[in-house]
Structure 1
Amino acid sequence: MNKLYTALIIDDEAPAREGLQNLLKEFSDAIQILGTAKNGIEAQEKIINLQPDIIFLDIEMPGCTGFELLAKLKVIPIVVFCTAYDEYALEAFETNSIDYLVKPIRLERIEKTIQKLKSFENNNYSDEILKVLKKIASKKEAPKMTSITVKKDSKLFFIKLDDVTFFESDSNYVRINSNLESYLSDETISNLTEKLPDNFLRIHRGIIINKNYVNDIQKYFNSRFIITLNDKMKTNLTSGRSYNDVIKNWIS
C-alpha cells in the first residue's frame, strides 16, 4: 500500500494556491491536503502545528521568502518548490530529496513529483536541503519572475510578463494590462514593485510600466512626465512628482 502524504500549500497568490489544490485533488490517493498558507509567518505556525509530510512552497513571497522560512524551521518537511522564476540552479534540485515546479504547473508535471515521492527516502533530509539552499544562495544571478497568476470567473490564467504593458491600481485590486486583454489581480503595487524584473518601472504610486513598451516620454508640468506606450491603445500615462528622479535616472 502506498503511503499517504500530508501536505501544506504555501503561496502568497490566492489563485496559485487554489489552482495547485485543484491539481493535487487528482492524486488524493497519495496526497492529503491539510491546508494552505499565504505567507511565511502563517506557514511557520501551520508547519509546527500540523506537521505536514510535504510543503509545496513558493520561493518569492513578500516579507519572508521560501528560503528564509526554511531557515527558521527546526525540522524541514519534504519540500516541493513552486515558483514563477525559472533561473535558479535547477540542477541543484535533481535529486530524490526535493522537486521544483515552474509555474504554470501542469497536471502531468505533478504526476512526476508523485512518482518521485514513492521512491523518496527521508534520510538526513534537513541536512541535504540546507546544503541545497546554501548552493542557491551562493549564486550571483538574481531570479527573474516570468509570469503572474490571475483568476477570472472560475478559470486561472498565467500571464507572461513579456505581454504586460503596465500595471495600474484599481480600487482594492491591480489591473494587469496587455495588448490582448486586461485582468484584475489581488496583488498590490508595492508587492509587485519588489518582485518584478528590471524592465518594469514604477512611475506613480499606482502605476508600474513595462519599459519595453515605452514609445516616447515628454516633460509635463510640476516635475512630471507623460509616457506614451507602444500598445494598441497608444496609452498615455502621467508620472507622479515623487518619481521624477527615478524616471530621470532611467532615461539618462
Structure 2
Amino acid sequence: AQLQSELSDALEALGCVEDELATTHRIADELRQQVETREAEVGQITAAASELEAVVDAHDQEVAVLQLRIDELESEQLAIADRLTQFDSLEAYANDCDLQIRALQSQLEVERQRRAPHTDDTHKSIKHTSTGTKSNADETTMVEHLGPVHVPIRTIEVFRGKTLDQILRVSGGQKRIMIGRDSDNELVLDSNFISRHHAILSFRDDGSASIEDLHSTNGVVVNKTKLTSSELAVGDVVILGDFYLLPGPA
C-alpha cells in the first residue's frame, strides 16, 4: 500500500513536470517566433540603413560636385570682377582723355580768337615799318595784339561720364548759378555723389567766372586739383562727383 501511494505521488509529480515541460516548450516556441520576427525586422532595418547610406553617399557626391562647381563659379566671378575693374580703369582713362581733348579744343579756339582779330593790325604795323612811318604807338599795339586775350565764359558743358548731360548758357546779367542735387538749384545734378548744395558758380560782367565749394562731401576738383574756390577759364575741366563741367566761349 505504501508503494502504491509513492507510485501515485510519483506519477502525479511526473504529470506536473510534463505540464511544466509542455508549458516551457510552448514558451520556447513563442520566444523562437519572436526572435525570428525580430531578426526579420533587424534585416529590414539593416537593408533600409544600407539604402539610406547609399542615398547619403550619393548626396555627398552631389554635394562635392556642387561645391566644385561653386568654387569654379567663384573663381570665374573673381576673374570677371578683375576684368571689370580693368575695364572701368580703361573707361575712366578714355573719359579723361576725351575731356582733355575737349579742353584742348576749347583752348585752341581761344588761341584762334586771340590771333584772328589782329591779323590786319599786324599787317598795318608791317606796312608802317616798310614805309618808315612806324610809331611807338604802333609798336605797343603790335605787342599787345600778340599778348593774352581774355575770352568770356558763355557756356558750361555738363558731362556725366562721356555723355553730354546738358549745356548751360550764361546770360550777360546772370551773376551766379547754384549747383547741387536738390531741385532749388539753378543747375541740378541728380547723383548720390553730389551734395544737396554742392558748389556755386559766380560770373562777372567781363565774362570771367569762379567756382566755390559749399562744404560738399566730394568737393570740387579743377584741372585735377581739389580746391575750395578757383577762378575759371575756357578749357578748364571741373569735376563735381561723377559730373564734368567744361567752361566754354559763346
TM-score (norm 2): 0.22
Instruction: From the two aligned structures, give the one with the greater strand fraction.
Output: 1
Specify which structure has the higher proportion of helix.
2
- Asked which structure has the greater CA Rg, the reply is 2
TM-score between both structures, scaled by the size of structure 1: 0.22
